[in-house]
Structure 1
Amino acid sequence: MSQPQGVKVDRLEAIRSHLYVNGFSAIQDLADAIGASLATVRRDLQILEQEGSIVRVHGGARIAEGSSVEMAFQAREKRNLAAKRAIATAAYETLQPRSAIFLDAGTTVLQLARLIRISPIPLRIFTNGLIVAQEFLNIPNLEVTLLGGQLRSENASLVGPQAEAMLDLIWFDQLFLGASAIGSDGAIYSIDNGEAHLNRRMLTRSAHCFVLADATKFDTMATYKVAPLTEAHVITDSTISQKWRAHFDDNGIANTIVEAGANG
């Protein structure tokens, strides 16, 4: 007797979530994790591969990486991946159905985009990130708007006066912002002036700002100042120093500190 459709959907979701958290997994590991037979898992993986969620490789599977454009900053994206995924998971838990959110073009924010792709909820999403936008192709319940502007190839992002003009016509419930660096002065910095200028404009158009930054971004510097951390809720990982934990407390900076698992 065939299983109810809901059971199948739950099983597919369980597989996607397992691969997101653990990275590449063998078919036997997936079967053990979700309590299904090898034959059932193989059929489910075929369905997930056809919809573009996963890639089957070497007797197992992994989450699909997206398009070839992503290769331009693949090395940076994979740095501290476990921390970025844990941060993204905490950010995902703040989302409210049918709200309007902005996702910038940062690599940690990209992990949040991938989590939304895996477990979509009704959202109006705005972004200036080409790779972020590509994550949402053919995903139900999402209304996605990509800002226009000048292409910044290094970050696959759109910046400049056109992008800023679009922002003036939009209001977001939540902004999710990455950071090139967070200086010892407690401010967010960017390596690009156009990106920094656009980020500052984003802050004026959102009710709540979340900065998604793993601990390695702290006590580093880049050229262009964006804003002080006091304007945001910081989500970072548990390797953040005691000095920075005290800085959050002393300056009333809202923060969430997450445990990062092993890289997958």
Structure 2
Amino acid sequence: MKDDRLTAIRQHLYSKGFSSVQDISEAVGASHATIRRDLLVLEAEGVVARAHGGARIATSAGVEVAFAVREQENLAAKRAIADAAFDLIEPHSSVFLDAGTTVLQLARRLRLDPMPLSVFTNGLVVAQALTDIPRLNVTVIGGMLRSENASMVGAAAESMIERLWFDRLFLGAGAIADDNRLYSLDENEARLNERMMARSSQTTLLVDASKFGRHLTYLVAPLAPGLQVITDAAVSPDWRTRLDECGCATTVVATPLASVQAMEG
């Protein structure tokens, strides 16, 4: 319960900015005294800075907390998508796991039920999730660190990708826009994702319903025949039709209501 409450406080402060103890108490559902103790713990960890009867996210922790908040968004859907993706992995194959938060759930699923596998990734958090697992060979792509999601990008990463071939790529997406194309917030990430797709026999897109109809700046690739898409049941009928018309092989996974409520509670 305490860990859940601390996570809720981090998420609230990241979303709302500076908040009073009373605001945090109402948002989290805990007493003022409990919130004050929790803020002392988070301050000692360097996560928050307390001031004037409240707190805010510490500047040094902003990126880490941002990733943690995104990781928790639509968590039940991401885990259901990861379960479906796990069933596609063949033992003794080579797979690339990108640095997205839904793909991270696949890495955590793989940790629970490992198999002989060669895993490549540009995600440091993904690599950490797969540390010290028997029969799993993990290679981290080198390059320039993109702090926003703890990923390696840039020319060195692209050069390394060109020397490799993967049986399957599991790729997240920042946005799938109304022009039926995948987009990223970062130019280097978009270019690397494009190279990943070119060097993989099969690309499987892991994307929850919130990513459809969004717009970001940098083009990754169009939705095209042969692309596999795993998403959740909240995806709209219009987007299901669009995916079919683009020739994508789409799997829609159910997210049990009880699981959603448990994750969001």
TM-score (norm 1): 0.73
The counterpart of 1:169, out of the listed 152, 158, 163, is 163
Match of residue 93 from structure 1: 87
SS in 2 for 1:138: coil
Alignment of 1:26-105 (within 5 A): 71-105=65-99
SS in 2 for 1:189: strand
Query: Which residue of 2 is the match for residue 213 of structure 1?
Result: 207
Superposition deviation, residue 246 in structure 1:
1.0
Q: Does 1:110 align with 2:104?
A: yes
Q: Of the candidates 175, 193, 197, which is equivalent to residue 199 of structure 1?
A: 193
For the residue of structure 2 that corresponds to 1:76, the secondary structure is helix
Identity %: 55
Say whether residues 1:253 and 2:248 are aligned partners: yes
**3-state SS in 1 of match to 2:169:** strand
Gaps of 5+ in 2: 5-60
Runs (4+) of structure 1 moved beyond 6 Å?
none
Residues 149-188 of structure 1, C-alpha deviation per residue, up to 9 Å, x if partnerless? 0000001000001000110111000000000000011111
Q: In structure 1, what is the Cα distance between the partners aligned to 2:180 and 2:254? A: 22
Counterpart position of 1:188: 182
Structure 1, unmatched stretches of 5+, are 1-23, 25-67
Letter in 2 for 1:242: P
What's the TM-score, normalizing by structure 2?
0.72
Give 1:211 shift.
0.6
SS in 2 for 1:151: strand
Alignment partner of 2:140 out of 139, 142, 146: 146
Contact 1:70 1:131 in 2 (8 A): no
SS at match of 1:139: coil
Q: Report the alpha carbon displacement of residue 245 of structure 1 after superposing the two structures with TM.
A: 1.1
User: Distance between the aligned counterparts of 2:246 and 2:192, measured in 1?
Assistant: 25
In the alignment, what sits opposite 1:244? 239
Pick which of 250-259 and 93-102 moved more. Answer: 250-259
Are the aligned partners of 2:96 and 2:168 in contact in 1 as well (CA < 8 Å)? yes
Offset of residue 251 of structure 1: 2.3
Give the match's secondary structure for 1:236: strand
TM-superposition CA deviations, 1:230-264 (whole Å, max 9, x none): 15211000111110111122222111000013233
Matched residue type, 1:87: I
RMSD of the alignment, in Å? 1.5
- Give the AA of the match of 1:109: V
- 3-state SS of 1:172 partner: coil
For 2:188, give the aligned amino acid. G
Q: Secondary structure of 1:94's match? A: coil
SS of residue paired to 2:215: coil
CA distances 1:106-130 after superposition (whole Å, capped 9, x unpaired): 0000000000011101110000000
The number of aligned residues is 198
- For residue 85 of structure 2, give the secondary structure of its aligned residue in structure 1: helix
Counterpart for residue 18 of structure 1: none
Please state whether the residue corresponding to 2:219 is helix, strand or coil.
strand
